[in-house]
Homo-oligomer: A and B are copies of this chain.
């Protein structure tokens, strides 16, 4: 025991939870907001901006990447990437649908 029992839930329920999990850390919220503030792709020092150690930032970026939210060049000296528009709108839609489908017919 201790692990989430994903198999007893629907695909959508698991998907929603997975997206929420990525957003469930202030560092990842901050990273997304910071990328969004940039003009184009981000190539600057996210480590200084956020205030966590480099491996920690790298780890958080990986979580965001896992759900397909980042695209760009990931090799070489300068990492240049940005938010994947299509995926972002997809997830925004998913969240919005969830929030809208909860009907409040009580109290």
Contact = CB atoms under 8 A, between A and B. Distances in A.
Q: State which size class the interface on A falls in.
A: 35 or more
Nearest to A6: B26
Contacts of A98: 29
Copies in the complex: 2
B13 A29 contact: yes
B72 A8 contact: no
A106 to B, nearest CB: 4
Contacts of A9: 26-27, 29-30
Interface string A47-58: 000111000000
B83 A104 contact: yes
Contacts of A39: 105-106
